[in-house]
Amino acid sequence: MKLLFIENRYKTFLMAAVANQLSKNGHDIHWLVQNKEFLPTGNFKTHIIDYPRSNKKIWEKDEAVENVIKSDRQFNHFNKKNTAYFYYYNDKIEQYLKALKPDLVFGEATAFHELLTINNCKKWNILYLNPCTCRYPVGRFSFYKYNTLEPYLGSNEFLSNEEAEDVIDQIINRKTAPDYMKARRTTTGEIINDKIKKIRSYVKGEKYNTPSPIMKFKLEKEKDRNIKLWDAFAKNGIDVSSKTVILYPLQMQPEANIDVWGRKHRDQLQLIKAISKSLSDDTVLVVKPNPKSKYELSRALVNYVKDSANIIGLQHHVKMDDVLPFIDLVITVTGTVAIECVLSNKPIVTLTKTVNNTANNCIFINNVDTELEPLINLVKNKSFNKISNQEKIDFINILNSTSYQGIISDPFSDENCMSEKNIANLTRAIESIINPEI
């Protein structure tokens, strides 16, 4: 079978190891590379898209390309102005797909060239799968279709009730954490080498997924200032026992979880405004920053929360464990907290529809302005849906059966992902996708 992989910086090296095993199994492997500094090596064919020499060509506007621009981190966070290169890459990617005619494409749904590839795969009816952590149970991942959070197939592995109950206990009592939260601590030397690699990439012409070092420096300084401003007014905890308390945990940006999968709500300031304006006088909104805040914590967001009478900001050091017992309802776009709330029967509302909404106590809403207030009233009346222990077990088994054993990471964040066992797990999972009857 002909398989095409899409380069994504350091993750390329993990998937190249998997691709080499698949090549040994007789598959025709190809790579499409946008960033030449992250070339995969192995027994496969590599196709490099040259950096555009000129962005002066006038391209006919395309709605699918324009939607990718709206999700792009360079455009949204790093002050990129010229968008003609999106059309250049879109044209090149379409040419490669038409020439190669792959049976399956594997890649992330993060960088612009991956999102453009996804659009073209849809156009030419080619299945694009994004191998990505399923968050829980830990040590597992799912293949998500195109740029969605819809799992494709799965291992069909089911836990016994006893095994599932142990997993549930680990999650609700926070004895474990998702794989992406377990990244190793990188050394100063590794961080410096990474910066050098990215700057070298930028100088050589990769200015499309790599921000200007000067712009990056300015944004990091601004981020640090905003964190200090936030923590200067934010609270150490929650003390509003007479009110209904809604929690919105900020999601880190740039990040595909919200910029792509939750794009409708990627402007978190506007979302917070919408939530706060829909609350009655006896309800308060608590905003918890991500412990590793990035560019989502804008100056405008800091000022809005600071000046709002019905919003409480929490300091960065405050842990979720410390606040959840005082929360009546959690709202998230695509956060992992949804799974934790389902299993602890904490009322949870999501703004993107995912597999988590198969649980009856995880409610998806499409419109904050019209659909949130009735759910808050259910919370106040203590009539929000709850699920039984068996339903929790069934929910965990949905997550388990639609996922596979293996760690999706990269050797820069987690060197253990390159272990022989993990490579074998990932290869086995892809083989089961290719031959689902075996």
Using one digit for the tens of pLDDT, what is the confidence trace for 156-177?
999 999 999 999 999 998 888 8
What is the pLDDT, as a whole number, of residue 184?
A: 63
Average pLDDT over residues 274-287: 96
- Whether 183 shows a pLDDT value over 70: the answer reads no
Q: So what's the pLDDT on residue 176?
A: 84
Q: Answer yes or no: are the C-beta atoms of 254 and 294 closer than 8 Å.
A: yes
Side chain identity at 305, as an amino acid letter?
V
Q: Kindly tell me if the per-residue pLDDT of 70 is higher than 70.
A: yes
Evaluate whether residue 85 is within a structural domain: yes
The answer to whether the CB of 438 falls within 8 A of the CB of 30 is no
Share of the chain above pLDDT 70, in %: 98
**Could you read off the pLDDT of 362-406 as tens digits, one per residue?**
999 999 999 999 999 999 999 999 999 999 999 999 999 999 999
Confidence at residue 55, expressed as pLDDT on a 0 to 100 scale: 63
For residue 219, being part of any structural domain is answered with no
Residue 172 covered by a domain: yes
Reading the block at residue 218, the tokens are: 């300015």
41 plus 139 within the same structural domain: yes
The per-residue pLDDT for 6 is 98
| Within-domain flag for 190 | no
Residue 54 included in any domain: yes
Instruction: Assess if residue 205 is contained within a domain.
Output: no
User: Does residue 192 have a pLDDT over 70?
Assistant: yes
Span of 108-117, 227-236, 239-248, 369-378 with lowest mean pLDDT = 239-248
Strands 404-405 and 140-145, bridge-based pairing:
antiparallel
Residue 352 pLDDT > 70: yes
Residue 427 lies in a domain: yes
Instruction: Express each pLDDT in 107-161 by its tens digit.
Output: 999 999 999 999 999 999 999 999 999 999 999 999 999 999 999 999 999 999 9
Choose between 303 and 79: higher pLDDT.
303
Same domain, 81 and 174: yes
Q: 2-6 and 127-133 as β-strands: parallel, antiparallel, unpaired?
A: unpaired
Supply the range of the domain harboring residue 257. Answer: 235-395
Mean pLDDT across 205-218: 92
Q: Could you tell me the two tokens for 345?
A: 């029967």
pLDDT at 60: 87
Q: Please, which residues have CB within 8 angstroms of residue 188's CB and are 6 or more apart in sequence?
A: none
What is the Cα–Cα distance from 127 to 76, expressed in whole angstroms? Answer: 28
Do residues 267 and 363 share a domain? Answer: yes
**Statement: residue 193 has pLDDT above 70:** yes
Domain presence at residue 334: yes
| Residue 95 and residue 21 share a domain | yes
Same structural domain for residues 239 and 377?
Answer: yes
Same domain, 321 and 428: no
Same-domain status, 113 and 256: no
Instruction: Please report the pLDDT score of residue 273 as a whole number.
Output: 97
Domain identity same for 297 and 261: yes
- DSSP H/E element including 29: strand 28-33
pLDDT of residue 126: 98
The count of domains in the chain is 2
- Residue 239: pLDDT band by 50, 70, 90 thresholds? confident
> 355 and 411: one domain?
no
Same structural domain, 138 and 172: yes
Task: Tell whether 265 and 387 lie within a shared domain.
Answer: yes
Above 70 in pLDDT, residue 214?
Answer: yes
Q: What is the CATH number of the domain that holds 169?
A: 3.40.50
Largest alpha-carbon pair distance within the chain? 66
Which CATH number does the domain housing residue 373 bear?
Answer: 3.40.50.2000
Same domain for 355 and 420? no
413-426 per-position pLDDT tens digit: 898 999 999 999 99
**pLDDT tens string 36-63:** 999 999 999 999 999 998 767 788 899 9
Determine the Cα–Cα distance for residues 298 and 36; give it in Å rounded to an integer: 32
* pLDDT of 438: 58
